[in-house]
């Protein structure tokens, strides 16, 4: 009886590990400061799972990251943030002064090439707070 229970527990643990196992997402730290993203070019592969770790290091201004790429995938966002959509239809994640958020998603199978991102707060994009995701095939 004890042997059967131990075997059942072992099998359940093995099955559970197999179900939840998988490659960990790639974490990309993105610093948001006065009028720039660092890095401003982010290399991605279609189908890849990534986490953008957004860190607002600005001591005076809130920022966001807005991109059409976010319109084509499900976002899981954690931390201190707000979400929304810009007037031109791009989804964004907003991070207040000194706060951070994680944006996890699977890179959609959009056409390979560059997909821009901006800070849509005020005139931040016009002042140079822009960048691009460089999407490559798997």
Domains by residue range for the chain, with CATH: 24-136 (2.60.40.420)
Whole-structure pTM value:
0.83
Question: Nearest Cα to 77, choosing from 101, 43, 97?
Answer: 101
| Angle at CA of residue 24, ends 110 and 76, nearest 5° | 60
Q: What is the pLDDT along the chain (138 residues), one digit of tens a residue?
A: 545 544 454 545 544 444 455 789 999 999 999 999 999 999 999 999 999 999 999 999 999 999 999 999 999 999 999 999 999 999 999 999 999 999 999 999 999 999 999 999 999 999 999 999 999 999
Peptide bond preceding 39: is omega within 30 degrees of 0, i.e. cis? yes
CB 58 within 8 A of CB 35: no
Question: Nearest Cα to 41, choosing from 62, 18, 23, 67?
Answer: 67
């Amino acid at each position: 009886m004890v042997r059967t229970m131990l075997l059942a527990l072992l099998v359940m643990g093995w099955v559970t590990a197999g179900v939840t196992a998988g490659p960990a997402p790639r974490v990309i730290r993105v610093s948001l400061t006065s009028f720039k993203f660092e890095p401003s070019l982010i290399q991605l592969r279609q189908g890849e799972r990534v986490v953008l770790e957004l860190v607002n290091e600005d001591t005076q201004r809130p920022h966001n990251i807005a991109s059409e790429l976010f319109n084509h995938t499900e976002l899981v966002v954690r931390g201190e943030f707000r979400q929304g959509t810009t007037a031109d239809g791009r989804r964004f994640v907003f991070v207040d002064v000194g706060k951070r958020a994680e944006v996890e998603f699977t890179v959609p199978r959009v056409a390979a090439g560059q997909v821009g991102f901006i800070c849509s707060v005020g005139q931040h994009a016009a002042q140079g707070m822009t960048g691009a995701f460089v999407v490559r095939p798997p």
